[in-house]
Copies of this chain bind each other. A is one copy, B any other.
């Protein structure tokens, strides 16, 4: 009995020591924890996507560890991505939202763990242009990044998606020239996206870039226009940006230096 007790005590002490060591190794300062949580995790660069770098490298499973809210696209430019409340949705070219498989790889996206830094009630906003104007003042620091979430009731929403591409990949502006467009009337849903500073041109989309998901999480797309009846805009200010660039040969060969702002404007609208 005493022998048994001794070995149990030995085991207990051993476990505590191992536990203690592990805990010590994993100890992170509050600054580090805050930084990890308050980071925009971005896959690839917008100029690479514009040139047809559509092969995904980072899985949705990995992405969900980097954020619970965001936007992007999926492997082969297979639809518009909306990450919301920790789930990643894929709005395919039929306008329907599907839960993206954990193993699906992503060629371009931005995600963050959404924490509210500012909020604003919105009422009767006549267009996407007006919506941008009414939330522009939530950008307190124009040299940082903002994630945004707008839950609302919309009189009208117009979105688009993109069909899955196969090689040889065409530039994004060619693909979106014949993009399928979807219209919603009197619908509840959520706009999700980011505001990025002008100096990040070429790497991400300067200004607002929003995707839409209906409240039933069944439809959505890249936002083209909207008329909002009533809603709440929440923003999350972020000073930390993690760029996860791609390692494949398409990205290596991409010309990321040329100014593609006009191409981007065409693609966004």
The interface of chain A, by Cβ under 8 A from chain B, is 1, 4-5, 8-9, 11-12, 15-16, 18-19, 22-23, 26, 29, 31-32, 35, 39, 45, 47-48, 58, 62, 65, 141-144, 197-199, 202-203, 239-247, 251-252, 254, 256-257
Q: Verify A242–B245 contact, CB threshold 8 A.
A: no
Give Cα A256 to B240, complex, Å.
Answer: 16
Closest to A245 in B: B239
Give the oligomeric copy count: 2
Note all chain B residues with C-beta closer than 8 A to A39: 242
28 A-B pairs with CB atoms under 8 Å apart are: A8-B8, A8-B9, A8-B12, A15-B15, A15-B16, A18-B19, A22-B22, A22-B23, A26-B26, A31-B58, A31-B62, A35-B244, A47-B199, A141-B252, A142-B252, A143-B252, A144-B245, A197-B256, A198-B257, A199-B203, A199-B256, A199-B257, A239-B247, A240-B242, A240-B243, A240-B244, A242-B242, A243-B243
Looking across the interface, which residue of chain B has its beta carbon closest to that of A28? B65
Min distance, Cβ A177 to any Cβ of chain B, angstroms: 26
Question: How long is the Cα–Cα vector from A23 to B26 in the complex, in angstroms?
Answer: 10
User: Which residues of chain B are near A245, meaning CB under 8 Å?
Assistant: 143-144, 239-241
Q: Using Cβ atoms and an 8 Å threshold, which residues of chain B touch A15? A: 12, 15-16, 19
Since A12-B15, A15-B15, A141-B247 are in contact, a sample of 10 more A-B pairs with Cβ atoms closer than 8 Å, ordered by chain A residue number, is: A11-B12, A22-B26, A143-B251, A199-B257, A239-B246, A239-B247, A240-B243, A240-B244, A241-B242, A242-B243
- On chain B, the residues within 8 Å of A18 by CB distance are 19
Whole-angstrom distance between the Cβ of A252 and the nearest chain B Cβ: 5
Instruction: Find out whether the CB atom of B199 lies under 8 angstroms from the CB atom of A199.
Output: no
In whole angstroms, how far apart are the Cα atoms of A39 and B47 in the complex?
21
